[in-house]
Amino acid sequence: MLEQERFFNDLVKQYSEPLYWHVRAMVGNHDDADDLMQDIYIKAWNALPRFRGDSDPFTWLWRIATNETISFLRKARVRAALSFSRIDSEAERVSDPNPYFDGDKALRALRKAMATLPDKQRLVFTMRYYEELSYEQMSEITGTSVGALKTSYHIAFEKIKDFLTTSD
Amino acid sequence: MKKQMPYSTPEGYFDKLQTRLSDIPARRSRINLTPYLALAASFALAALAGNYILMKTTASQPASDEEIVEYLIDSGMTLAQLEDAVYDY
């Protein structure tokens, strides 16, 4: 138990900040990212007895975070649809001026373009563009083949390029 | 983060976050039930479940938002279908 706590605290010290940015890039909003961090680390703590020592803790934790975040976004969309609000308003929600957004015009446009991507493409784009993960790492995290990830990144990249060109 | 993220966080956020997250094991162990309590809880749960089933079969309760969301996700309905249904309504 003590060993597990020590390992868990290492996960918190080493990864909480980069993991926050991973989640924040996906959800856009600080409060949602903060809530998700709590849920992700609770899930990680509960799953720790099943963690195999030979696995990479980074990949393991990112996989939990990614599943949790995708599930959160899916629920948020269904909730939005049920409350009769337009789904595409999410693009504004994630990139509208807020107290914790300090990007310039170009970064804001990039965020807006990213918000138009489907969740999985946005995830792939975030991991590759912002976090600079290798396709092999991304494959382990998402359980998707390297080839499919490359295609997904290419499509996401082209969509963002089109969005930025047409919105100029 | 290698590339610049257009976001910031409240002052001292990551220190507070680390403290909060590090507290998870202690909080989880505090809510761990002893075997006797777990046994008592399982009896209580069985009684509650029986009561719940009885209520369900005798009176129709409106589903919560969370139950509706879970049901729609589990049913495999696509967002496009859902939107069509909502806006056609």
Instruction: Give the model confidence (pLDDT) of B29-87 as tens digits.
Output: 766 655 666 777 777 888 888 887 777 776 666 777 788 778 877 877 777 777 776 65
Long-range contacts of B18-27 (CB under 8 A, 24+ apart): B18/A12, B18/A13, B18/A16, B20/A38, B21/A12, B21/A16, B21/A37, B21/A38, B21/A41, B22/A8, B22/A9, B22/A12, B24/A8, B24/A41, B24/A42, B24/A45, B25/A4, B25/A5, B25/A8, B25/A45
pTM: 0.71
CB spacing of A37 vs B79 below 8 angstroms: no
d(CA B18, CA A17): 9
CB spacing of A41 vs B4 below 8 angstroms: no
User: Nearest CA of chain B to the CA of A17: how many Å?
Assistant: 7
Q: In B, which residues are within 8 Å of A84 by CB distance?
A: 86
Q: In A, which residues are within 8 Å of B8 by CB distance?
A: 100-102
A146 touches chain B (CB under 8 A): no
Which sign does the torsion angle of CA A18, A20, A21, A23 carry? positive
User: Nearest CA of chain A to the CA of B43: how many Å?
Assistant: 24
Instruction: Give the model confidence (pLDDT) of A19-35 as tens digits.
Output: 999 999 899 889 999 99
CB spacing of B65 vs A4 below 8 angstroms: no
d(CA A115, CA A88): 9
Using pLDDT thresholds of 50, 70 and 90, give the confidence band for residue A148: very high
What ipTM goes with this model?
Answer: 0.78
B5 touches chain A (CB under 8 A): yes
